[in-house]
């Protein structure tokens, strides 16, 4: 499977931290598209894919809301991950083509067999700069691997994600989180300084990566340290051991540092 870029969660700064109760949320892979390549159309920056028991949801984030005026969106789905089959909406390799039309009052589906569906079971919702499309498995099918791409045709341009370096992104709806990994800012704690869980990455069984709600606890010489994923290291902590536990996607990972 092609390697993909992952969307790094700036956990403390971006407010992605969550209480323990949110850690059961079903995370999904996040696919990143370069910013600044939209040429007057909605600029796709990231797509979060969440798979559930009955549907797959595509959360499509763009650079700004204003670009969506008179702009459409097309979600092409390669339901069998085979570029040699399918021709939905005239696009070779895709079995399904969902279209949010430019006035945003119509959402339709074109199938590979030429069928045009005015009111598909899938739904679309545009809120500010974020478009959310939910496709039920009854319409998508149960293929082990799904390929997809997003395009945003507008009056003066269009963004196609992923860009020309790869024809589509791929993921497995049944993929599970195998591991989590955190990085810190700075790389090691220093006495009297702020120490932050800067990035947390989830790694899935199909090789894709993403993020998930995070919770953290810290102990300094076995004593709890106030804060969650963001701590002010005491001024007298030099030489002491800082133990941190990061929890995300139902997994737990421990880290140990010697305070400088």
Question: Which CATH number does the domain housing residue 248 bear?
Answer: 2.60.40.1930
Phi first, then psi: give them for residue 219, nearest 5 degrees: -135, 135
The answer as to whether 17 is a domain residue is: no
Predicted pLDDT of residue 166: 82
**Co-location of 136 and 88 in the same domain:** yes
d(CA 168, CA 31): 10
Question: Which CATH number does the domain housing residue 148 bear?
Answer: 2.60.40.1190
For residue 47, what pLDDT band results from cuts at 50, 70 and 90? very high
**Co-location of 127 and 198 in the same domain:** no
Torsion angle of alpha carbons 165, 169, 175, 180, nearest 10°? Answer: 50
**Co-location of 73 and 143 in the same domain:** yes
Predicted pLDDT of residue 165: 74
Is the bond leading into 162 cis (omega within 30 degrees of zero)?
yes
For residue 22, what pLDDT band results from cuts at 50, 70 and 90? very low
The answer as to whether 229 is a domain residue is: yes
Q: Select from 89, 129, 133, 80 the least CA-distant residue to 107.
A: 133
Domain encompassing residue 187: 177-258
Predicted pLDDT of residue 253: 97
Q: Select from 252, 254, 228, 225 the least CA-distant residue to 240.
A: 225
Query: Residues 196-218: what's their mean pLDDT?
Result: 94
d(CA 135, CA 69): 24
161, 196, 230 — which closes off a domain? Answer: 161
**Co-location of 123 and 38 in the same domain:** yes
| Total domain count, the chain | 2
For residue 222, what pLDDT band results from cuts at 50, 70 and 90? confident
**Co-location of 148 and 182 in the same domain:** no
127, 161, 195 — which closes off a domain? Answer: 161
d(CA 108, CA 123): 9
135, 161, 187 — which closes off a domain? Answer: 161
**Co-location of 76 and 192 in the same domain:** no
**Co-location of 88 and 142 in the same domain:** yes
pLDDT digits (tens, 9 = 90+) for 139-187: 999 889 999 999 999 999 999 999 877 899 999 999 999 999 999 999 9
Indicate whether 19 pLDDT > 70. Answer: no
**Co-location of 53 and 151 in the same domain:** yes
d(CA 221, CA 241): 6
**Co-location of 146 and 243 in the same domain:** no
Query: Residues 199-220: what's their mean pLDDT?
Result: 94
**Co-location of 131 and 185 in the same domain:** no
The answer as to whether 11 is a domain residue is: no
Query: Residues 62-86: what's their mean pLDDT?
Result: 96
Phi first, then psi: give them for residue 206, nearest 5 degrees: -95, 5
Predicted pLDDT of residue 39: 84
**Co-location of 140 and 80 in the same domain:** yes
pLDDT digits (tens, 9 = 90+) for 107-121: 999 999 999 999 999
Indicate whether 246 pLDDT > 90. Answer: yes
């Amino acid at each position: 499977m092609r390697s993909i870029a992952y969307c790094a969660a700036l956990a403390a700064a971006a407010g992605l931290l969550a209480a323990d109760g949110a850690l059961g949320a079903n995370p999904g892979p996040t696919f990143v598209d370069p910013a600044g390549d939209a040429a007057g159309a909605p600029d796709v920056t990231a797509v979060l894919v969440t798979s559930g028991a009955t549907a797959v949801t595509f959360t499509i984030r763009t650079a700004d809301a204003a670009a969506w005026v008179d702009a459409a969106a097309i979600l092409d789905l390669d339901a069998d991950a085979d570029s040699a089959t399918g021709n939905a909406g005239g696009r070779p390799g895709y079995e399904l083509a969902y279209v949010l039309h430019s006035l945003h009052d119509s959402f339709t589906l074109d199938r590979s067999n030429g069928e045009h569906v005015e009111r598909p079971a899938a739904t679309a919702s545009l809120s500010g700069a974020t478009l959310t499309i939910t496709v039920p498995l009854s319409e998508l099918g149960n293929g082990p691997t799904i390929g997809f791409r997003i395009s945003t045709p507008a009056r003066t341009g269009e963004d196609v994600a992923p860009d020309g370096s790869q024809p589509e992104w791929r993921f497995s709806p049944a993929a599970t989180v195998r591991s989590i990994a955190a990085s810190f800012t700075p790389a090691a704690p220093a006495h009297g300084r702020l120490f932050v869980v800067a990035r947390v990455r989830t790694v899935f069984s199909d090789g894709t990566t993403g993020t998930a709600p995070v919770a953290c606890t810290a102990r300094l010489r076995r004593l709890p340290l106030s804060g969650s994923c963001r701590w002010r290291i005491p001024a007298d902590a030099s030489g002491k051991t800082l133990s941190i536990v990061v929890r995300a996607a139902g997994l737990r990972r421990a880290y140990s540092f010697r305070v400088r």
